[in-house]
């Protein structure tokens, strides 16, 4: 079985533990539940299937039943805390606590670098900008960013991107992309960090309204949709996104770094279609 710090989903860890025990001994969901102090013989089975949730208060008992102790037990409880967190701030706190715990024990949390990449706009911008400014010093790259940043921030970001293997540095000190395009993985921590990036880009979009029309394109409309039409539009947007990436990666040269936002979000609560709204007579 993998080290616990290689997991981000507590349900997956419980299931892997159960399957390993089942292969090597006579073990059942009933015995597992009993060891963890649950009256329901299938509770933990339902947890693994996503039908039930494990509470933070019960996480310690389940960890003990799996033989976890010390930092491993704490790490498991933090995975459960992350799953229960209601806000991005709470999720980020639980995730970073897991990272700190693993680092203290000389281990790496899977997903830590992915989280760090998406939490700052400087990472994707400099990943696009640096390869097309050969010979440029950090200060020159800093001034090319909009909004501008410091040379120290550029250096820190470039070092991170090289360590992440998203950029590589040649003997002349120039940067090259290791891949033409990247996207979010399916790891649960990435969407949380990506929301922070989207907030930053959303703020930039507001400021970009004041740019000349020749430098920016913005449009939108309000739609009344069913769930079915919403899903169809989501698919069209995903297909369009792939076509845009294909166009952008056809050419090796870059003249300017752009951000394109595609947004489709509700402006009302769900309407009960069978409900009749009556106007009261006075």
**C-alpha span between 242 and 61 (Å, rounded):** 46
The Cβ of residue 3 has, within 10 Å, a number of other Cβ atoms equal to 13
185 and 114 Cβ atoms separated by less than 8 Å:
yes
Cβ contacts of residue 217 below 8 Å, gap of 6+?
A: none
Q: Which residues pair with 168 in a beta bridge?
A: 176
Per-residue pLDDT of the chain (282 residues; tens, 9 = 90+): 777 877 889 999 999 999 988 887 788 999 999 999 999 999 999 999 999 999 999 999 999 999 888 888 898 999 999 999 888 888 888 888 887 887 776 555 546 666 678 778 999 899 999 999 999 999 999 999 988 899 999 999 999 999 888 899 999 999 998 877 665 544 455 566 677 788 888 888 888 888 888 888 888 888 888 988 988 898 888 878 778 877 887 777 888 999 988 888 887 888 776 555 555 555
Segments in the chain forming alpha helices (H)? 10-24, 29-36, 43-48, 56-65, 70-84, 88-104, 112-118, 122-129, 138-144, 151-163, 189-208, 227-248
- The predicted structure's pLDDT at residue 111: 60
pTM exceeds 0.75: no
Q: 37: phi > 0 → left, psi -120 to 50 → alpha, else beta; which?
A: left
Spatial contact of 101 and 135, defined as CB atoms under 8 Å apart: no
* Contact assessment for residue 115 and residue 95, using Cβ atoms and an 8 Å cutoff: yes
Which of 68, 44, 65, 64 has its CA nearest to residue 54? 44
Question: CB-hemisphere CA count at 13 Å for 276?
Answer: 3
pLDDT at 109: 57
Residue ranges per domain, the chain?
Answer: 4-107, 118-210
What tokens were used for 154?
């550029």
Spatial contact of 79 and 7, defined as CB atoms under 8 Å apart: yes
Q: Give the C-alpha separation, 13 to 54, whole Å.
A: 13
Fold of 118-210: Arc Repressor Mutant, subunit A (1.10.10)
What integer pLDDT is reported at residue 191 of this predicted model? Answer: 62
Beta carbons within 8 Å of 170's beta carbon, 6+ residues apart: 176
- Dmax over CA atoms of the chain, in Å, equals 83
Query: How distant is the alpha carbon of residue 93 from its chain centre?
Result: 14
The helix/strand/coil state of 214 is coil
| Residue in the block written with tokens 């994707």 | 124
Which pLDDT value is given to residue 169? Answer: 93
């Amino acid at each position: 079985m993998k080290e616990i710090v290689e997991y981000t989903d507590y349900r997956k860890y419980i299931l892997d533990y159960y399957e390993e025990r089942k292969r090597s001994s006579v073990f059942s969901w009933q015995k597992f539940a009993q060891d963890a102090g649950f009256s329901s013989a299938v509770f933990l089975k339902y947890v693994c299937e996503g039908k039930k949730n494990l509470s933070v208060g019960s996480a310690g008992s389940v960890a003990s039943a799996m033989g976890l102790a010390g930092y491993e037990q704490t790490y498991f409880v933090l995975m459960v805390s992350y799953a229960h967190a209601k806000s991005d701030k709470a999720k980020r706190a639980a995730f970073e606590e897991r990272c700190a715990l693993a680092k203290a024990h000389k281990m790496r949390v899977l997903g830590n670098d992915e989280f760090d990449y998406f939490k700052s706009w400087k990472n994707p911008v400099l990943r696009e900008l640096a390869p097309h400014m050969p010979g440029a010093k950090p200060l020159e790259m800093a001034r090319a960013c909009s909004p501008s940043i410091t040379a120290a921030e550029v250096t820190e970001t470039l070092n991170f991107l090289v360590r992440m293997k998203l950029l590589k540095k040649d003997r002349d000190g120039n940067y090259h992309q290791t891949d033409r395009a990247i996207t979010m993985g399916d790891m649960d921590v990435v969407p949380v960090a990506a929301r922070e990036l989207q907030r930053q880009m959303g703020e930039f979009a507001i400021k970009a309204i004041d740019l000349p029309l020749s430098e920016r394109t913005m449009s939108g409309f309000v739609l009344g949709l069913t769930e079915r039409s919403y899903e169809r539009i989501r698919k069209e947007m995903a297909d369009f996104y792939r076509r845009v990436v294909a166009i952008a990666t056809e050419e090796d040269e870059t003249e300017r770094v752009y951000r394109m936002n595609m947004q489709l979000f509700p402006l009302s609560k769900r309407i009960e279609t069978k409900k009749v709204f009556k106007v009261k007579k006075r």
